[in-house]
Chains A and B, each alone.
Chain A
Amino acid sequence: MSLLQVEDMTHFFGGLRAVSGYRLSIAAGEIRGLIGPNGAGKTTIFNLITGIHTPTKGSIRLENRSLIGLRPHQIAARGLGRTFQNMLLWRHMTVLEHVKLAHYAQLKYGLAGAFFGTRLCRAEEERVEENAHRLLETFDVARFAHQNVTQLPYGVQRRVEMARAMATRPKILFLDEPTAGMTPEELVQMIGIIRQIHSEFKVAILLIEHRLKFVMELCQRIQTLVFGEVIAEGTPEEIKNNPQVIEAYLGKEEVA
């Protein structure tokens, strides 16, 4: 049975059809890729599934429960974690605070607990902090725990963002261009990190990427999106040799 099932999802921005008839079915523990040229609608698909936009038509089900109409934080709490293309870190907060805050939905104390610093609240804060430290260790950013995120190098910020996403305890993780702006060495590191997340946390991953080499290396199946429509789906090998994909990326061969 599939973990996430998207059926026939279509979305219009005014008169523009951004996504049409999109289908997706991810099983637990799978790594999937979503590629396509700029403006193909990849991020829109992420935003539709994570609830930032509501699709005009179609169904989205996580573990057989519909996600349509839920607010983004509810969807995230159901087990759909994500990162952002431009990271969206909180600029006045430390690394540790980032990861702690992503435990928000798991907190067992309420407002009264926070106001009066009850025993439950203190115990929960301690548990969250411990958990956050563990995650920071996993992503090898523990030594930056008390630093403000804006002072950190780009690669570290990326890892902080991943740690933050993992703190929400996702069953499936959406990564929106995790290698954007990275050097080749950082890219190799990132492949290692994603493999590690996959094996350590047993999450399914859906990956948006520009760099084909990266996607080919990681993903079991890949979808290619052009103008909001999936033009090809298959294993990396199949995608690599699909003439439509080549056309979308490199353009049609002109007849001289």
Chain B
Amino acid sequence: MIRIKLWLLLCAGLCGLTACDIQDNRIEPGERFSRIYDTGEYERAYYAVDVAPTADSGFIVLGAAEVDFSDFYGLYLLKIDKEGFPEWQYLASSDYVHPLGFLSDGANNLQVVCMDATGLYPLVLTVAPEPALVAAYPSVEYPLAFSRLNDGRLAFLAYDRVGRNSVVAFSDDTRQTFPIYEDVEALIFQHISRRGQQFPFFIGQTPTGQIFFNGFNNYTLALTFLDAGGSQTGVVNGTRYEAGMSACVALPQSNRFSIARFSEDGRTYFAPSVSIDPNAVSSSSNLKGYLIQELSPKAGVRLLHTEAGGLPVVLYLSSTQNGQIALYAYDAEGGQLLGTRYFGHGNRFEAGAMCRTPDGGLLITGRVWMAGRFARLCVFKLNEEDIRQLLQP
């Protein structure tokens, strides 16, 4: 009898201990989710270009979608709520093509930069409830990248097809040209129409105000530094158009950068904390970094310099050879890898963009080939706990 009582007590104790998980089985709506957005269409493909949080705790995804009215991909916007459920979508019916990214007007109003379908110049549009024109820059042809400068001006990286120059044009109508010395219009067109190699064009500014851009310059894909007047001060050359920078973000320390670069064989290297002299001529191949073998050839890389868990970190987002989205977290000061996380399996996934969320998490967008064939937008939302786990060495 005593034995049976003991067994009963043991069973009751075990039940009590294990049943705690019922109480813990709770999560706030929207803390974590994964969504793949399907339209049921057979032929139209989508690219993920950018993502941003909105004032209502939701998010807006900027996509590029195949359209009938243009050779270029059309502007596509998908507004989702804080749990990732769609609220509205917008697909440009004309004019708005080649979306480049989101832009804040400085008053927390989100804007989007794209290209005019016929004039091939950059447009700035409002986002909600339906895109409306804010500004157009007809003198800037073939926009490739843009950035909001510290002084509030917009800077565009563009291509001058007549003069065969890369152009850095500012919203105050000033500009600088950088000769390429050969006709690269075919490469530019293939990039913009997404029918050929996607080049990692970007333009940005260091905390000290130095402008840099990654574009074609003097026969190569080069990271070029400019002085306050827009003149070139230094350059990190690639190898023709086959090697160069994949992504770059300036760190708070003087002349320190987190970069990703690719070599002629398509391999990608990460250098999370590297020194670059903006007044010197150097080569991207000299920026050694870690060889990331698992990434797709010439994989697109997105960088985000942020703070998590009290640490300055750099997040690298890219796509692996086996069709997953990969997220790498590096210590922005020491350059050590803190953690990695992968998203997707089975069907091919490709990284798009990422942004921090108001709850301390991260939202990642990309695209996935549903059933192995239909390219659709997808999002992955991580909460603060996920970020903390990612950073645990």
Is B one of A's binding partners?
no
Residues in chain A within 8 A of chain B (CB atoms): none
